[in-house]
Structure 1
C-alpha cells in the first residue's frame, strides 16, 4: 500500500492551516451525510452544534474524537482526509467499512476552536473533566462512549513545538501513548492492545519520519479522558501531532496523522498487530520538552558597562489577528539554555546585540533586534 499516493488522492483541500472552526467543517459534514449517519448530539457552552459521524457496518467499533482542545486542529484535518478515503468506494475503503463501524466527534470543542484556545468557553480543560463531567462537551463525549460501547478509542490531539524526541535534537512530529489504567502503570490485556497497535504504527512511520516519533508520558491521571477510558477497559490510543521542521501550519504533519490512522485500521483489519510489542513500544523514545522555536547563541551584551557573552531564546505565540493566526516571536529565556535545541539556531559568534531599547534582550519583548555585523532580525527571523 502506497500511503503517500493515498494521501495525495484523498487530502481534503478545502481545509488547511492552524485556525479551523466549525464554519470550515460544516460543508464537509453535509457532504459526508450522503454516505454516513450524521447527527447533532448536543451543543457547546455557546450553543454551537456538536456533530457525530457514524459510518461502516463492521463488528469492530472505533470511537474517535478531535479538537477536544480547540486550538489543536491538525488531527481534525487528518481525520477528514481519512473520511475522504472511507467514502471513496475503493476496495480498501469497502474492506474498512465492512470490518469497522466508525463513530467520530470531529470537533468536540467548537467554542475553543473559534476562540483558538485549549479550553472551552467556560475556561475548562475538557481533558481534565472526565470524572466531574461539569461541561456539556464532556458529558456528550461520555454519553456517546457509553452508548456506542467501542472496542478501540482514538484520542486525537496536537502538541506544542517545544516537544522533541528525548534529547536527540529531533522534533516530536508524531507522539503516541497507550494511557495507564492505574497508578502503578501496569499493563493489562486492554492496555496491551493499545501498546501493540502503537508499535505497529511506529514501525510504519519510521519509514517516513525516522527518529521523529515519540512516546508520551504515561503518568496516570483519572481526570484525563484517555486514562478514564483505559481504566474502563477499552484500549485507547493517544495521538499527539507535533512539529515538523518549518511546518508551523502543520500541513506536513497532517500527512503523518493520515498515515497513522490508515495504518491503525489496516493492521487491525488484517489482524497484523505487533504481538507482545511491549519492548518495541518502550523503545520509542520519550516525548520531552527540549526545543525552543529560536535559539540565539554567543551574543555579546553590554550589561551595566560590563560586556558578556550569553544566549537567549524566543518562542512563537499564536495570536488571532483579523480572523487569522499570526505567529509572533517573543523572547522567553536568557542564559545558558542547556539541554534545549532550537528549531532555528543562530550563532552570533560574539557579535553585539542592540534593539530600540538598548543593549540587552528583554523577556516578553518581540524578537526584533540587530547585531553589530548589520544583521537585522524581525519577528525572530533574519530580515531579507
Structure 2
C-alpha cells in the first residue's frame, strides 16, 4: 500500500492550517450526506452542533473523536483525509468500508474550536470530565459510545512542540498511548489489543519518520476519557499529532496521522494484531519535554549591571487573529539550558541583547 501516493491523491483540500471549526467542515459534510450518514448528535454549551459521520457497513466498529480540545485540529484534518480515501472509487477503500463501520465525531468541542482554546465554553477540559459528565459535549461523547458499542476507540489529539522522543534531539511528531485501565497499569485483553495496534502503526511510521514516534506516560486517571473507555473494556488508542521540522501548520504531520490511521485499520483487517507486542510497544521511547521553539545561544546580557554570556529560549504563543492562527515568539527561559534543544538554534556569538526601549536584559513571559 503506497501511503504517500494515497495521501497525495486524497488529501482533503478544503482543510488546511491550524484553525478548523464547524464552518470549515460543514461544506464537506454536505458533500458526504449522499454517501455517509451525517447527523447532529447534540449541541455544545453555546448551542453549536456536534456532528457525527457514520461510514461503512462492516461488523468491526471503530469510534473516533477529534478536537475534544478545540485548538487541536491536526487529527481532524487527517480524519477527513481518511474519509476522502474511504469514500473514493478505490477498490481497497470499498473493501474496508465493507469490513468496518466508522463512527466519527470530527469536532467534539465546537465552541473551543471557534475560540481556539483547549477548554469548552464553560472553561472545562473535556478530557477531565469522563466521570461526572458535567458538560453537554461529554454527555454526547458518552451517549455515542454506549449506543455504538465500539470494538476500538481512537482518541485524537495534538501535542505541543516541547516534546521530544526520549533523550534524542528529535521531535515527537506522532505519539501514542494505550491508556491504563487501573492504578497498577496492568495489561488485560483490552489494553493488549490497543498495544498491539500501536506497535503495528509504529512499524509503518518508522519507515517514514524514524526516531520521531513517542509514547505517552500511562499513569492512570479515570477522569480521562481514554482511561475510562479502556476500563470499560474497549481497546482505546490515544493519537497525538506533534511537530515535524518546520511544520508549524501541521500540514506534514497530518500526513503521518493519515498513515497511522490507514495502516492501523489495515492491520486490524489483516488480523495481524493478535500477537503479543508489548515489548515492542514499551520500547517506543517515552515523550520528554526537551524542546523550545527557538534557542538563542551565547547572548550577551546585562545582569545586575554586569555583562554575562548566557542562553535564552523562546516559545511560540498561538494567537487567533482574523480567523487564522499566528505565532508570537515569547521569551520563556533564561540560563544554561544545556539539557534542552531548539527546533531552531541560533548562535549569537556574544552579540548583545537589547530591545527597542534599550533594555539589556530579556524578560520572560
| TM-score, normalised by the number of residues in structure 2 | 0.98
Return the alpha-carbon distance in structure 2 between the equivalents of residues 293 and 361 of structure 1: 17
- Name the residue aligned to 1:120: 120
Q: CA deviation at 1:338?
A: 3.0
Structure 1 consecutive aligned stretches of length 4 or more whose deviation exceeds 4 Å: none
Structure 1 match to 2:363? 362
CA distance in 1: counterparts of 2:199 and 2:288, whole angstroms: 19
- TM-align CA RMSD: 0.8
The farther-off stretch of 272-281 and 242-251 is: 272-281
CA distance in 2, matches of 1:99, 1:280: 27
Alignment correspondent of 1:146:
146
**CA distance in 1: counterparts of 2:167 and 2:202, whole angstroms:** 19
Moved more, 121-130 or 321-330: 321-330
CA distance in 2, matches of 1:6, 1:219: 36
Structure 1 residue 347: Cα displacement: 1.2
> Partner of 2:346 in structure 1?
346
Correspondence 1:133-282 to 2 at 5 A: 133-273=133-273, 275-282=275-282
Moved more, 139-148 or 344-353: 344-353
Which residue matches 2:27?
Answer: 27
The equivalent residue for 1:131 is 131
Shift of 1:359: 1.1
Runs (5+) with no aligned partner, structure 1: 365-384
1:352, CA displacement in angstroms? 1.8
Equivalent residue number for residue 95 of structure 1: 95
Residues 1:48 and 2:48 are matched in the alignment: yes
1:349 positional shift = 2.0
Q: Is the 8 A contact 1:200 1:274 kept in 2?
A: no
Contact conserved, 1:199 with 1:274, CA < 8 A, in 2?
Answer: no
SS in 2 for 1:353: coil
Q: Deviations over 1:318-376 (max 9, x none)?
A: 11112221100010111111321100011112222222232111112xxxxxxxxxxxx
Paired residues of 2:193 and 2:274 also in contact (CA < 8 A): no
Cα separation, 1, equivalents of 2:266 and 2:303: 60
Q: In the TM superposition, what is the alpha-carbon distance from 1:89 to its structure 2 partner?
A: 2.3
Contact kept in structure 2, 1:298 and 1:310, CA below 8 Å: yes
Once the two structures are overlaid, the 10-residue window that deviates more, 318-327 or 115-124, is: 318-327
Following the alignment from structure 2 to structure 1, what is the Cα–Cα distance between the partners of residues 274 and 238? 17
| Structure 2: distance between partners of 1:351 and 1:51 | 54
Q: Check conservation: 1:55, 1:97, Cα contact below 8 A.
A: yes
Alignment match, 1:381: none
Cα drift, residue 274 of structure 1: 6.3
1:273 CA drift (Å): 2.1
Ranges in structure 2 where 5+ consecutive residues have no aligned partner? none
Q: Which residue of 2 aligns with 1:58?
A: 58
- Distance (Å, rounded) in 1 between the aligned partners of 2:305 and 2:232: 63
Contact 2:159 2:241 in 1 (8 A): yes
- Count of residue pairs brought into register by the alignment: 364
Q: Secondary structure at the match of 1:169?
A: coil
> Post-superposition shift, 1:298?
1.1
Counterparts of 1:64 and 1:227, CA distance in 2: 15
Q: In the TM superposition, what whole-angstrom CA distance separates every residue of 1:247-280 from its partner, at most 9, and x where no partner exists?
A: 0000000000100000011110011226110010
Q: 1: distance between equivalents of 2:120 and 2:188?
A: 33
